[in-house]
Structure 1
C-alpha cells in the first residue's frame, strides 16, 4: 500500500517543520549524490535553513562549479542583451 499524499504547504508546528527539513534535506542530498554518480555530472546544492545557516553539497569542488555557473550565466546574459539589442534596433 502506498503512502498518503500530503498537502504542500508550510508546516505550522516548529518542531515538526524542523524534523521534516532534516529528513528531506538528507533525501535531497542523497538524490544529488546519486545523480552525480549515475550521470557523471557536476552538482552543487545550496540550502539556507530558516535560521539562515548554509548547508551545501557539491559533487566536486564547489568553487569550480560556481565559477562555471557564473561564466555560463554571464554568457547567457550577454546573448540575451545582444538578442534584445538586435530586436530593438
Structure 2
C-alpha cells in the first residue's frame, strides 16, 4: 500500500464561477479524504489547494477537469507543492 502524500495547487479555467463549483469541489475533496481550500479568483478562474494521499489527489485533479453540472472546464493547470503545514479540513475561501 502506497502512503505517499502530496500537495497540489490547481487553477481551473472555463465557466467555473456561478455554477456551484466551489461547493462541489469541497464535497468531492471531503469524500476523498483530502484537505485544503478552494476559492474564486478575480479573473474568473477557480484555484484549489489540495493535499492528501497521492491516489486521492490524482483522482481529485481528474474530478476538477470534469466539474459539476453547469460548469465547462477548458483547462486545469497544476503545480506541485511541498507538503508542510496542511489544513485539517477542506474549506471554501471567500
TM-score by length of 1: 0.27
The structure with more strand, counted as a fraction of residues: 2
TM-score by length of 2: 0.26
Structure of higher RCO (CA pairs closer than 8 Å, 6+ residues apart): 2
